[in-house]
Structure 1
Amino acid sequence: MPNSASPVTTELHFFDAVSDKVIPAYRVLDGNGQIGEAFARKIYEKMSLLPALDNVLYNVQRQGKISFYMTTHGEEAAVIGSAAGLDDTDEVMGQYREMGVLLWRGFSLNAIMGQCLGNEEDSGTKGRQMPVHFGSPAHHFHTISSPLATQIPQAAGVGYALKRDPARRGKNCTMVYFGEGAASEGDFHAGMLLASVLGSPTVFFCRNNGFAISTPAAEQYAGDGIASRGPGYGVKTVRVDGNDALAVLAAVREARRYAIAESKPVLIEATTYRVGHHSTSDDSFAYRPRSEVENWKKTDNPLWRMRRFLEGRGWWDEAAEQEMKDRYKNEVLAAFRRGETLKRHPLGELFTDVYGGEMPWHLKEQRDELSALLKKYSNVWEPWKKELAKFQGNGKEML
């Protein structure tokens, strides 16, 4: 069952009026993976690549090799299923668990490692962002920022810009991802209002994973989840079982079609469960029992659902599973080990790309202060010597 405990339905129905009934969650795959459709094998493989990456990068963070990490454990179907329902040129505004969208669009393992390690292959943010705060113009993936919900009104504006662009009007939409905790921010309501009034082809995709860091959903709102808010803004809405990748795929495909054809927004609430900790800064067993997490892994596992579906169609077997797991493990480890050997961008890049044109006086002042500190301490303070050796020019090339 989805974490909202709402009933389920196999009929995909978008609504824009409130009823006195609990909103059902659209489902294609049941717990035994009995029903499905195309893209299944690719979806499952990309879903399986996420935990392969998450396991390695979570562990290397614990070893102090990267500063921070967030996993997608338990939400693989919601992320990959939604990515599969979009066109690769649709604009995406992520929250922070949407690495799978980039993987679906061809973002390489080396690029993943480049961003998380902040090495010279981090072409998007040049090592200036926290790990998993991806950005890639080539993949139409807008750079992630940490503050919750800021991307929601931005997405409404991006969708409106697409509508006004003769070259892209009627061809593309914007997809914005956020959690149910972010939906408690004012930015959620501002974005929904802006998109509904102006007619922005934006799909609002809420990953309701049950917890806003340590706050369970039951303590976040009194109404029927996030989907019940859509009709108040006149927005077509659907709730989907977020652990059913094919249901998410179908819902996003239809939401995208409607948003582009009508130049109007759509709200999707994908009910799922965050199996992992919120981030490497969190211990979720402080606010939920370990037994609850283990039960979700066994009773409503999105990866297991997709595997059962594939096996039922004769598209998958144990040999294919083992080959995939071994291949991913080797590829992810090889990409990480390679990424560790690469230099970081010149330290002077800290001060570039902030303003267009000439660098303003206050950034020059900060740059000169850092340069003076480097000259004074970089050869005598051991921690600096060790860290600066990782940068191009040993960290001393200032712009």
Structure 2
Amino acid sequence: MLSLRTIRARSWRSIPLARTIATSETSAPHSPPQRHGFLPGAPASAITTKLHFFNSVLEQSQIPTYRVLDGSGNIVEGAVEPEIDEAFARRLYHTMNLLPVLDTLLYNVQRQGKISFYMTTHGEEASVVGSAAALGSRDEVLGQYREMGVLLWRDYPLSSVMGQCFSNENDDSTKGRQMPVHFGSPEHHFHTISSPLATQIPQAAGVAYALKRDTERRGKDCAICYFGEGAASEGDFHAGLGMASVLGGPLIFFCRNNGFAISTPTTDQYAGDGIAARGPAYGMDTVRVDGNDVLAVLGAVREARRRAVTGGKAVLVEAMTYRVGHHSTSDDSYAYRARQEVEDWKKIDNPLHRMRRYLETKGWWDAAAEEALKDSQKKIVMEAFRAAENTPKPVLDNIFTDVWDEMPWILKEQKEELREILRKYGDVWEPYKTERVKFRGNGVLEP
């Protein structure tokens, strides 16, 4: 029987000389070659006699943040602008501006009791739209709940936006059965959003693995998974990144680090160097980008997509931004942060202002264009809103459809029970009478 020492010695001799020598830009010119031990978990790890602990990815430095535009919309000295023309740049700005118009209206509509819930993207327009603009039209999107801008970039109709939020029959994907802002659209390659935090992260690893195995889409399309830094505290984050790093597949993990997980600031979420520090731990190419700089986000995600598709692997992007809106209509953010802090962020690092100044510097925008854009977007959003208010909800039978090809006995019993309740109380109890008229067919169940 061979001893462990003999096995290690033979294994050591079987490793090519090139693998036993590691060079470093920081090594001394005449330093002795570094040797690697036979360690299955890290076979390229150099052997050292120096006891050394580390807690930084880059050693003695924090991860830098990639930026193209400064806070005033000027190109930072030394920065390289991504390749875009006037039409593309104007489309970026148009889409970024459409988000707050929709958000303001629908937030107020929720306060009026016309929809049940809403979440805004205030302050994160550059992160969402800039990343969307870097994707291919067939790339699979797994969002969290602030990614409506991705759908808008892909020409998702405003009637569908309103239909989903109002749960009316224009909600083609979820047929009025989901909470507002839980969008989904197979046509736009946008996977339906679910409320439980971070569930989309391991699902995205599966989608990327499927793309890797699909001979028609391999090397052409990728998946992108959006989440906040709060979701990165969930176990699903580590499960998803672990799966993706081992299984492979073209995937961009896009973290919107907006400063708060609902009411919890980042200082109470992690002690490490943000979320980007975790990428190398899973063997992923990683970049941190200024999430309020739409050109930096565009360039970073374009390169992340190239690496993901050509390498068939996952890439991590951390976009550093700030949520200037409340977490949702169920939240009052002034209970845990100063109002002045929010107002300062709106002025100092506003993604819309930065992009507008860039366009003006290029000669692609002026005050007249700004006024015309605001007027036209308010008009089309209000038209979509008024139409949605007067559009009925889907037929009540949709409660029981789309799960089984043939309705099982238990659902048949439930449907008959509901039919009996409506027959008995539907025309006499005021809450039932009020709600039934909102449905197509006056809330009458089909046989």
Q: TM-score over 0.5 for the alignment?
A: yes
CA–CA distance in 2 between the matches of 1:375 and 1:217? 53
One of 22, 27, 48 as aligned partner of 2:62: 22
| 1:330 lines up with 2:330 in the alignment | no
| 2:414 alignment partner in structure 1 | 366
CA–CA distance in 2 between the matches of 1:398 and 1:283? 43
**How far is 1:343 from its partner?**
1.1
**How far is 1:204 from its partner?**
0.2
| 1:139 lines up with 2:178 in the alignment | no
One of 73, 79, 90 as aligned partner of 2:139: 90
In the TM superposition, what whole-angstrom CA distance separates every residue of 1:290-315 from its partner, at most 9, and x where no partner exists?
00000000100000000000011111
Q: Return the TM-score normalized by structure 2.
A: 0.84
Indicate if the aligned counterparts of 1:367 and 1:398 stay in contact, CA closer than 8 A: no
**How far is 1:339 from its partner?**
1.0
In the TM superposition, what whole-angstrom CA distance separates every residue of 1:135-174 from its partner, at most 9, and x where no partner exists?
0000000000000000000001001100100110000000
| 1:213 lines up with 2:252 in the alignment | no
Matches within 5 A, 1:156-235: 156-235=205-284
| 1:387 lines up with 2:427 in the alignment | no
Greater gyration radius: 2
| 1:310 alignment partner in structure 2 | 359
Output the amino acid matched with 1:362.
I
In the TM superposition, what whole-angstrom CA distance separates every residue of 1:173-229 from its partner, at most 9, and x where no partner exists?
000000000000010001101010011211000000000000001100010000000
Indicate if the aligned counterparts of 1:119 and 1:126 stay in contact, CA closer than 8 A: yes
**How far is 1:398 from its partner?**
3.7
CA–CA distance in 2 between the matches of 1:392 and 1:243? 43
Cα RMSD for the two superposed structures: 1.0
One of 140, 154, 157 as aligned partner of 2:203: 154
| 1:247 lines up with 2:296 in the alignment | yes
CA–CA distance in 2 between the matches of 1:281 and 1:205? 25
**How far is 1:344 from its partner?**
0.9
Number of aligned residues: 382
Output the amino acid matched with 2:63.
I
**How far is 1:19 from its partner?**
1.7
Gaps of 5+ in 2: 1-55, 76-80
Aligned partner of residue 279 in structure 2, secondary structure: helix
Aligned partner of residue 27 in structure 1, secondary structure: coil
Identity percentage of aligned residues: 69
CA–CA distance in 2 between the matches of 1:376 and 1:29? 65
Indicate if the aligned counterparts of 1:88 and 1:139 stay in contact, CA closer than 8 A: yes
| 2:398 alignment partner in structure 1 | 349
| 2:42 alignment partner in structure 1 | none
**How far is 1:354 from its partner?**
1.7
Matches within 5 A, 1:17-166: 18-20=57-59, 21-35=61-75, 36-37=81-82, 38=84, 39-166=88-215
In the TM superposition, what whole-angstrom CA distance separates every residue of 1:40-91 from its partner, at most 9, and x where no partner exists?
2111110000001001100111111111100000000000000000001000
Structure 1 runs, 4 residues or longer, greater than 6 Å off: none
Output the amino acid matched with 1:378.
G
Matches within 5 A, 1:270-309: 270-309=319-358
Higher relative contact order, structure no. (Cα contacts within 8 Å, ≥ 6 residues apart): 1
CA–CA distance in 1 between the matches of 2:172 and 2:412? 23
Indicate if the aligned counterparts of 2:57 and 2:63 stay in contact, CA closer than 8 A: no
Gaps of 5+ in 1: 1-16
Indicate if the aligned counterparts of 1:76 and 1:303 stay in contact, CA closer than 8 A: yes
Q: Return the TM-score normalized by structure 1.
A: 0.94
CA–CA distance in 2 between the matches of 1:83 and 1:95? 14
CA–CA distance in 1 between the matches of 2:337 and 2:252? 31
CA–CA distance in 1 between the matches of 2:207 and 2:101? 33
Output the amino acid matched with 1:366.
Q
Indicate if the aligned counterparts of 1:135 and 1:143 stay in contact, CA closer than 8 A: yes
Indicate if the aligned counterparts of 1:46 and 1:100 stay in contact, CA closer than 8 A: yes
| 1:257 lines up with 2:309 in the alignment | no
